[in-house]
Amino acid sequence: MKTLFVGISCFISTFFLAQQKEEFRLVKSYYNQHRNMLNKEFKKKFDAESSTDKKVAIKGDFLFFMKKMDSIENNALIGALLKVRNLEDLQTIKNPKLTSVKFSDAEKIADYPGGLNSLRQEVANLLYVDGVYSVEKMIKTDVDFIVEKDGTVSNVHAQGDNFTFNRQAEIALYSLAEKFSPAMIKGDPTTYRFKLPLTLTIND
């Protein structure tokens, strides 16, 4: 069993990059539709079967197919991550000033709906732990991301010793369902930088 622990620390930044979450929403929507279709078909087959042994076998097949679907979806999300990263890198090349990060004080920091506990819980729920490979029992990463003026997330970068954990953490942050309320300076929204430490504990 793998357990995720999340700690949050926050930093403000004027760094701006376009939000690309639509790529991740499209992938999730596509695979959720297929899960619903499979669920209906397996339920019909399960309900029509009178044998208890065959019902158990149908349930096992269903769980096997769903696990395969999760793995296939994860591959698609990795592709979306690469596309988003390339688009953000191209934007930085076109506008070199984007690499200049300045820090200042905010009157109101960016906040996720429901607060930090909701953010922690959603990141933990979105992390595809089966896509993390490690011989270590405990692995860590620090995820740095920007909350834009419109509350969307961009420029997500995870830095840790385990590449697969970094990748899954980045996908989870880009896949957040809700927008943040933006940080404010003098009554105006501003970009805000979060640093999100993550620790994954693997219990055999």
The pLDDT, as a whole number, for residue 149 is 85
The pLDDT, as a whole number, for residue 118 is 86
Q: Distance between CA atoms of 147 and 110, rounded to whole angstroms?
A: 7
Cβ–Cβ under 8 Å, residues 107 and 184: yes
pTM: 0.81
- Looking at per-residue pLDDT, the higher value among 143 and 90 belongs to 143
**Average pLDDT value for residue range 38-61:** 92
Predicted confidence (pLDDT) at residue 192 exceeds the cutoff of 90? no
Q: Distance between CA atoms of 165 and 142, rounded to whole angstroms?
A: 10
What confidence tens digit (pLDDT) does each residue in 115-149 have?
888 888 899 899 999 999 999 989 999 998 888 88
Predicted confidence (pLDDT) at residue 11 exceeds the cutoff of 80? no
Predicted confidence (pLDDT) at residue 101 exceeds the cutoff of 60? no
The pLDDT, as a whole number, for residue 13 is 30
**Average pLDDT value for residue range 10-39:** 69
Q: Distance between CA atoms of 62 and 55, rounded to whole angstroms?
A: 10
For residue 89, the SS3 value is helix
- Looking at per-residue pLDDT, the higher value among 191 and 75 belongs to 75
Predicted confidence (pLDDT) at residue 93 exceeds the cutoff of 70? yes
Cα–Cα distance list, 124 to 53, 59, 69, 119, 174 (Å): 35, 26, 19, 9, 13
The pLDDT, as a whole number, for residue 99 is 44
Q: Distance between CA atoms of 185 and 204, rounded to whole angstroms?
A: 48
Predicted confidence (pLDDT) at residue 174 exceeds the cutoff of 80? yes
Q: What is the mean pLDDT of the chain?
A: 82
* 117 phi/psi in degrees, rounded to 5: -65, -40
- Looking at per-residue pLDDT, the higher value among 142 and 100 belongs to 142
